[in-house]
Amino acid sequence: MNRPARALIDLSALRHNHALARRHHGGRVLAVLKANAYGHGAVRCAQTLADEADGFAVAFLDEALALRDAGIRAPTLVLEGAFSIRELEAAHAHGLWVVVHHDDQIRMIEQAPVGLRDLHVWLKVDSGMRRAGFLPKTVRSAYARLAASAKVSRITLMSHFASADEPDAPMTREQLATFDAATAGLPGERSFSNSAGVLAWPEANRDWARTGILLYGAHPVPGLADELRPAMHLQSEVFAERMLDPGDVLGYGATFKAERRTRVGLVAMGYADGYPRAAATGTPVTVGGRPARTLGRVSMDMMTIDLSDLPGEGIGSPVELWGAQVPVNAVAQHAGTIAYELLCNVKRVPLIYTDSPSPI
Ligand SMILES: *Cc1c(COP(=O)(O)O)cnc(C)c1O
């Protein structure tokens, strides 16, 4: 028998969530597949959405080339743009779209060999996040330089939200107003919304949305009615049991001390698989479909859970670490992080693709 740890990837959930993004947004949607599709496997996710996606987005060139190597021909945007003229040439050779977010990337286009033609450039505006992009007062001159280049045939204007996941934060509206003013009158399509924008800020919808986390079924805005379906089910099994007496301590650092007789299940899943070590005692799991909780520190290869109230469960019982029964957002909260980080940290466990996950 194999080690039972695995990440079941429900491709029907991916399609469902993508269709939902399109319904909410109305316009075209780039499915964001950076970081190996947030841990779900970029090539397989691209193949799954090939017929319905208007295009894909990845962070950097090598991620895009991996899709091209796998035969994915759909429009693909490189969100960080080129790091060198050579990267720009490779992007051009593969028909990739590139973000331009700082001066040096305009210089690369200007200095690239003259044979480079028909670039579709996404000009990124810093509408307030102050991380990447052209400041509003420099947008028009950046645009003019790109428009003057014979190598550029199309300019799309984009920006990125800093806190669209906070429904009451005034910043999102301010960013929209800043973007609209900075780009007023400039020809070209517009793109603003990420997942939180699509789900919570209909007024942010422009020609293109760029949705990542919602495709994978983790809601970026906690508390909003959740029509999303989780694409990843991180699963394993109990492979051994232990009985603790009152006063016994458990695991590294002896952080858990039993107050009563406690039946502990050992689960084949650890932080080397991407389960967060920061998840403290009490983080939710399910065993045989029933709620339980973690005990003590997560180890590299295994973790410990409380079976005391589940007399019917033991060695061989299926455990869900996150998925349909345990929202990945809940685990993230217990680990002091966000679902994004948990999902894209999943490694070492096999990714098993299915169109209909069976409940455990
Ligand atoms: C990652 C990324 C997105 C997707 O964000 P989600 O919150 O996962 O939807 C969109 N735009 C840019 C520029 C990104 O880097």
pLDDT tens column, 261-312: 999 999 999 999 999 999 999 999 999 999 999 999 999 999 999 999 999 9
- Ligand 1 proximity of 17 Cβ (cutoff 6 Å): no
**Does residue 346's CB lie within 6 angstroms of at least one atom of ligand 1?**
no
How close is the Cα of 32 to the center of ligand 1, in Å? 7
pLDDT at site 221: 84
The per-residue pLDDT for 223 is 64
Could you read off the pLDDT of 88-107 as tens digits, one per residue? 999 999 999 999 999 999 99
Alpha helices by DSSP H, listed for the chain, are 11-25, 34-38, 42-49, 61-69, 85-93, 103-111, 136-148, 171-183, 195-200, 328-334, 339-345
Residue nearest to atom 6 of ligand 1 (CA): 212
User: Is 183's C-beta closer than 6 angstroms to any atom of ligand 1?
Assistant: no
Q: Which of 34, 38, 143, 271 is catalytic?
A: 34
Residue 34 CA to ligand 1 center (angstroms) comes to 9
DSSP-derived pairing of the beta strands 232-244 and 318-322? antiparallel
Residue 143 annotated as catalytic: no
Ligand 1 centroid vs 191 CA: distance in angstroms? Answer: 11
Q: How far, in Å, CA of 274 to CA of 233, rounded?
A: 13
Q: Which domains does the chain have, with CATH numbers?
A: 11-216 (3.20.20.10), 232-354 (2.40.37.10)
Tell me whether residue 34 is one of the annotated catalytic residues. yes
Distance CA 305, CA 244 (A): 12
Task: Identify the pLDDT of residue 226.
Answer: 76
Residue 39: predicted pLDDT: 98
pLDDT in the model for residue 90: 97
> Which residues of the chain carry a pLDDT beneath 70?
222-225, 358-360
Q: Does residue 32 have its Cβ closer than 6 Å to ligand 1?
A: yes
pTM of structure: 0.96
How far is ligand 1, taken at its centre, from the CA of residue 90, in Å? Answer: 23
CB distance 210 to ligand 1 below 6 Å: yes
